Amino acid sequence: MAKTAWITGASSGLGLYTARALVAAGYNTVAGARSFQGLEGEGEQGYRLPLDVTDAGSVKAFCQRALQVSGPPDVLVNCAGVLVLGACEEYQPQELRQVMDVVFFGMAAMAKEVLPLMRAKGAGTIVNFSSINGLLATPMQGAYSAGKHAVEGYSEALAMEIKPHGIHVMLVEPGDHQGGQARYRATSQGVTDIYRDALVRVSGVIARDERTGLSPEKLALRVVRALDRRTPPFRLRVASLGQHMAVILHDLLPGGLFLRLLSLYYRVPGGARAPREEKA
């Protein structure tokens, strides 16, 4: 019998590729995205339904309709995301809320709706898309890094709480991948001359890394293969060798030295100086 998967953020980027892979693997897939408004019905991502994860009413409506379409899910994939580039000092309050609403609070809202359905079945898997930015921050991506760090902490706690009910959590931690869309990558409206040059430099590095990034199709296949295992791994990190090394060095090197090296990589002016650390 085919398993059922519900997925958010399925209209573009890694969400789109993951939805396609779920369909290809035979999952009865219900795909949600804001851009599916007025497009309910079968598509390449499965059965499409409108979904705004930042709106409680939309989340409830999606889950109720998805339940009618497919029955309760065996898998929930939280893939909705948004990125606002800018300096931490200059983010507008609404920009910080926008990122956190989509990346973190939307994920938590979906899990809250789905968990009773999985608990009634005594089984299920919740897949939360994090990022390498959930393990280490990068300049001009402070809001996104904060959101993904929140996803990491929430998922660790959730995994311990729901395991006794037969439900698993899997964190997917992608590095740079091709196929992202500019409409989900905004620039802060508060940028001033103080940080403008640094933002331009960092944006150039990000664009280069995404152009030469990994295949989103391969990432999606790895997610589906992990779901097919009897016990999915808690962490599925899909990144370049350099990004794997960055995560390791983040934990091994003195904090100031690591920030200096990362600043140099992103061509942030002043990156040659490491901040002093207070000794306890």
Residue 272 lies in a domain: no
Confidence tier at 273 by pLDDT (50, 70, 90): very low
| Residue 274 pLDDT exceeds 50 | no
Q: Are the beta carbons of 79 and 33 closer than 8 angstroms?
A: no
**Is residue 137 a part of any domain in this protein?**
yes
Question: Sorting pLDDT into bands at 50, 70 and 90, what band is 23?
Answer: very high
Q: What is the pLDDT of residue 1?
A: 79
With respect to residue 273, please indicate whether it lies within any of the assigned structural domains: no
CATH code assigned at 232: 3.40.50.720
In this structure, is residue 270 part of a structural domain? Answer: no
Number of domains in the chain: 1
Residue 266 domain-assigned (yes or no): no
Kindly tell me if the per-residue pLDDT of 97 is higher than 70. yes
pLDDT score, position 166 = 97
Burial (CB < 10 A; 0-12, 13-18, 19+), residue 244, is middle
- Summarize pLDDT for 44-84 with one digit per residue, the tens: 999 999 999 999 999 999 999 999 999 999 999 999 999 99
Q: Which of 50-64, 172-186, 249-263 is least confident?
A: 172-186
Distance separating alpha carbons of residues 45 and 232, to the nearest angstrom: 22
Q: Tell whether the model's pLDDT for residue 278 goes beyond 70.
A: no
In a domain, 257, yes or no: no
pLDDT surpasses 80 at 5: yes
162 within some domain = yes
Q: Which range marks the domain in which residue 69 is found?
A: 4-240
Residue 275 confidence class, pLDDT cut points 50, 70, 90: very low
Residues 6+ positions from 51 with CB-CB distance below 8 Å: 8, 32, 33, 34, 36, 58, 59, 62, 80
| Residue 94: exposure state from Cβ atoms within 10 A (0-12, 13-18, ≥19) | exposed
In this model, does residue 116 exceed pLDDT 90?
Answer: yes
Structure-model confidence comparison of residues 229 and 273, the more confident one: 229
Q: What is the pLDDT of residue 163?
A: 97
pLDDT in tens, 185-216: 789 998 999 999 999 999 999 999 998 999 99
Q: Which residues are catalytic?
A: 11, 130, 144, 148
Q: Quick one: average pLDDT of 11-18?
A: 95
Residue 267 lies in a domain: no
Residue 164 CB coordination number (10 Å): 7
